Amino acid sequence: MRKFIIAVFVISILSSCNNQSSKDAGSANQSVQQTENKKMDFNILDAYKLTLEKTFLYGDYSNFISVIGLPDSVTVFKTKFLIDSKAALEKAVLTAKDPDVVTLHYPGIDMWYSYNNSIIPFTIDFRKTTKSVSYGETLFDSNYTFEQFKRQFPISATPSVQMPGSLFGLATKEKGEKFKHFLLKRKSKDDPNAEPLVEFTFENNKLIFVMFANF
């Protein structure tokens, strides 16, 4: 259900971008081309370069477990399993049937298991984890500031479209003016034409939350 709600929200974001692009288009002869150029006017994050410790966030499931360790629990659709051993983890994962969402819960980090033995990130709450995510020479963690984000992703830091809400709000149920949300887009190896969204949330100028809309 949560995945469906988030998908609807992402669609509403895309609609907002496209509607704004059409308004800005100018003459009738140029409107289509300008809309295409302005659509999804966000910086690109090369998410396949993101690493947690020595493993990729978008990578091999078995390698991720080997490096990061066992999750505290696993949710398969609506059923939660407490994990205290590798056998318990394997048993929980085996109960899933495609396309059930399998979520591995670590302190502050939720990962999705994919049925081709890969793993992908879903949410990272830097208020609840001491881990950092590496992106080249950049460390995304609670010390990463909005000023750094603005230098690194200037287009996304100054959005031209007012978003209808936030992925952060949907995931955490937290709302308020103290939270500032900014969107990036990423490439997808599964679909070269797709550009899924990634949302960075800041509070008091510090990064607190990253959410990946993996659809």
Phi, psi of 36 (to 5 degrees): -65, -40
Share of the chain above pLDDT 90, in %: 69
Calculate the alpha carbon distances from 138 to 123, 133, 141, 144, 152 in Å: 19, 8, 10, 9, 10
Tell me the residue type at 153: F
pLDDT in tens, 160-182: 766 778 999 999 999 999 999 99
Calculate the alpha carbon distances from 171 to 70, 197, 209, 210 in Å: 23, 15, 10, 11
Report residue 190's pLDDT band, with 50, 70 and 90 as the boundaries: confident
Please give the Cα distance from 181 to 166 (Å, whole number).
Answer: 7
Report residue 50's pLDDT band, with 50, 70 and 90 as the boundaries: very high
What is the Cα gyration radius of the chain? 18
Structural tokens at position 201 = 């949330």
Share of the chain above pLDDT 70, in %: 80
DSSP readout, 89-126? HHHHHHT--TT--EEEEETTEEEEEETTTEEEEEEEET
Please give the Cα distance from 32 to 87 (Å, whole number).
Answer: 55
| Cis, bond preceding 159 (omega within 30 deg of 0) | no
